[in-house]
Amino acid sequence: MSVDETTVRRVARLARIAVADHEVPKLATELAAILAFVEELSELNVEGVPPMTSVIPTALTLREDVVNDGEDAEKVLANAPAREADFFVVPKVVE
């Protein structure tokens, strides 16, 4: 697909990007290359290939999301800047 300078200016206006006049020819070439690559991708045979639903492979399952109390207060509070018994101490935020 050929991209002319009018198309570049229109895309820049729609994207609200300021483009100087001397940059338009270079951007036209770059946009034409991007569109050529997309056209090349559309030629691939993807028959029988399931669509991706996640970037994480299905073999890597996440742990079950369950509520727990942390089980070990010493481990949970080990890095607390201040604590009192088994509780975090935080600055007072309400007068």
Q: How far apart are CA 3 and CA 8, in angstroms?
A: 7
Which residue matches tokens 């056209």?
39
Asked if 34 and 53 touch (Cβ cutoff 8 Å), the reply is no
Q: How many domains does the chain have?
A: 1
Which domain covers residue 12, as residue numbers?
Answer: 5-42
Asked if 86 and 73 touch (Cβ cutoff 8 Å), the reply is yes
* Token output for 53: 């639903």
Which residue matches tokens 């006049």?
21
0.85 exceeded by pTM: no
| Residue 23 within any structural domain of the chain | yes
| Residue 76 within any structural domain of the chain | no
DSSP string for residues in 7-37? HHHHHHHHTT----GGGHHHHHHHHHHHHHH
| Residue 20 within any structural domain of the chain | yes
The pLDDT tens digits for 4-17 are 999 999 999 999 99
The pLDDT tens digits for 34-90 are 999 999 988 889 898 888 777 766 666 777 888 877 778 888 888 888 999 888 999
| Residue 67 within any structural domain of the chain | no
Which residue matches tokens 């994207």?
15
| Residue 32 within any structural domain of the chain | yes
| Residue 27 within any structural domain of the chain | yes
